[in-house]
Structure 1
């Protein structure tokens, strides 16, 4: 658990031991409960290095297998020694379509180093899924603020594509935070998506800018850019995906601006490193 979660008094119910009688109130998510978790083989059909440290993998599933998921969910890639690495699908679900994953190269990362150094198209992989409760709540018509950090864009992209495909009657404002301009690996794609739909706004944010003055957009931390655009979040929903520090900052600063804690949905990306 993160320091922010500990300060708030959050607990992991799968680990905590009650010292007295307790009553647990749980929200049931019918949408995800209907989807079957499967273990499936797949083949790497395409690899594209879209940034110096980001590889897009396309995975082809067996023609005889049906794999259902909700836009925003993730799978676990299972390696031969049993180790797992989690990646969100970056494309909306469609029958027979390949899965798109965004893999960031983590120094000494067991799986990501393999992707960048030795993996080839047609290699075989195995995965289990889908997992997660990060998906668009269709029972709401509130304006949605989408906050992505780095490759946290992946599930946000899938979620947004699905909403647009379904003609969901609400507005979406996507804030994508990265370090430098070169890290906006899908900038043109997201910008084109926003230009093609009146209900989509796109704001890229750089945390590191140089003195050249070439960047005229938002700078600083991505959650700060959200606060500069929205003084009052009481009527919005926020969907955030990125590193734990970004998620903690969003929770700590969005709620005082009026955001209902029950309207903050997030997926925290933590990088696994193996020596």
Structure 2
């Protein structure tokens, strides 16, 4: 063995069943990073061990689990052979089970400069930001995916694109819905100093949250707060493609004003006979004069559906909403685990346990 060979880190084969897709991962490399590099689309969300979207079953092999939040992967789940691919590093060849494998190669991940074209407040704490993409660049993505801002210090902030890809033909660029998190370095800037024409740097597309068009199952769309952003993109995409699968949208907020595009949804529901819309408010005040559904948005779905065994669910929003829905729909309404597609919005506090 030469010294160069000795210095080369070991590579392990990762095989994903039942698809049989295989790729190599280097020692010390997260399985998810290797999959993305190889064009194999495993499910994922935050990439930081906080949301649990990338959780899957390890059939064989050994991994180092890496740093992660215990709520994303519990000790009992580790003992049962579950792993978070965004954190797990292979120690041997590994066989995983994941039924949500897609081909990532059609939508290459790229870094690019973008220009802020418009800033429009949609509520007291939600800003609609439109970004102009480089004129000579083709940016392809699935409705529902997200981009990451690369900040000056190298930190990143992820936001889902709220417009479907086809809309770029009329208005080139991407639309984001950014909620103000007071004290947050990036959102304080968005709501304070950010101006139109500002240049930022982004990378994407990321994420496995997009419509599975090879199914004819009815759909439940579940959103809380600005988790509506990728759901909006899905609705636009379905309307554009003429997808008429029965679809029920449940959008939850604390106050009616948190449903910041309520009228937009009503207009789409009027145009799409297969789409029903159920807005849900958890903490309405008397002055809101709210006469609609109240309580937790994931519970509203439970109240309306006795059986979800034949459905697909697409959920996006706060981790507590997504996690509660995933657990309850599978355990109490018969939803197959592989038919729950989620994008949990994790804040920096979520990612670091604070």
TM-score, length-normalised on structure 2? 0.73
Distance 2:92 2:134 in 1: 50
Residues 111-141 of structure 1, C-alpha deviations (whole Å, 9 max, x = no match): 1000001000111111000000000001100
Residues 167-226 of structure 1, C-alpha deviations (whole Å, 9 max, x = no match): 113011100010001111100001111111101001111010224582111111100100
The higher-RCO structure (CA 8 Å, 6+ apart) is 1
Provide the residue aligned with 2:123 in structure 1.
Answer: 51
Contact kept? 1:143, 1:172, Cα under 8 Å: yes
Distance 2:189 2:288 in 1: 37
Residues 88-114 of structure 1, C-alpha deviations (whole Å, 9 max, x = no match): 000000345210000000011111000
Distance 2:88 2:136 in 1: 42
Of residues 146, 159, 167, the one that matches 1:74 is 146
Residues 58-103 of structure 1, C-alpha deviations (whole Å, 9 max, x = no match): 0001111110000000000111111110000000003452100000
Please tell me whether residue 203 in structure 1 is matched to residue 278 in structure 2.
yes
What is the deviation of 1:272?
A: 2.2
- Structure 1 vs Structure 2 CA RMSD: 2.1
Residues 243-268 of structure 1, C-alpha deviations (whole Å, 9 max, x = no match): 11011100111012110111000001
Contact kept? 2:149, 2:203, Cα under 8 Å: yes
Of residues 249, 257, 269, the one that matches 2:333 is 257
Note the 1:205-244 alignment, pairs <5 A.
Answer: 205-211=280-286, 214-244=289-319
Provide the residue aligned with 1:41 in structure 2.
Answer: 113
Contact kept? 1:45, 1:59, Cα under 8 Å: yes
Aligned positions, number: 275
Distance 1:59 1:202 in 2: 28
What is the deviation of 1:22?
A: 5.2
Note the 1:126-275 alignment, pairs <5 A.
Answer: 126-211=201-286, 214-255=289-330, 256-272=332-348
Contact kept? 1:4, 1:248, Cα under 8 Å: no
Q: 1:211 to 1:269 in 2, by over 3 A?
A: same
Residues 41-71 of structure 1, C-alpha deviations (whole Å, 9 max, x = no match): 1110000011010000000011111100000
Moved more, 23-32 or 126-135: 23-32
Distance 1:79 1:50 in 2: 24
Note the 1:117-128 alignment, pairs <5 A.
Answer: 117-128=192-203
Distance 1:138 1:208 in 2: 36
Distance 1:202 1:5 in 2: 33
Provide the residue aligned with 2:42 in structure 1.
Answer: none
5+ residue gaps, structure 2: 1-68
5+ residue gaps, structure 1: none
TM-score, length-normalised on structure 1? 0.93
Distance 2:75 2:295 in 1: 25
